[in-house]
Amino acid sequence: MNKFFRALIAGYGAKKLGGGCFSTILIFVLIYFLLGQCNKESTGKTLKSQNYISAPASK
């Protein structure tokens, strides 16, 4: 996920869920971190699946 869109989503979620200044910042960091972790897991799965695809052997 693009970092810009990740920040927008985290900002929107923090605005909706946060109550005060500190809690809004804390929720933003938490959502931003979680979205980054989801991105790493999905990227890792696609890379693992690509390892099983091999080119035909040429002789």
User: What are the tens digits of pLDDT across the range 2-17?
Assistant: 889 999 999 999 999 9
What confidence tens digit (pLDDT) does each residue in 25-49 have? 999 999 999 999 887 766 655 555 5
pLDDT at 53: 61
From CA 33, how far away is CA 46, in angstroms rounded?
21
pLDDT at 14: 93
The pTM assigned to this predicted structure is 0.65
* 51 pLDDT higher than 90: no
From CA 35, how far away is CA 8, in angstroms rounded?
11
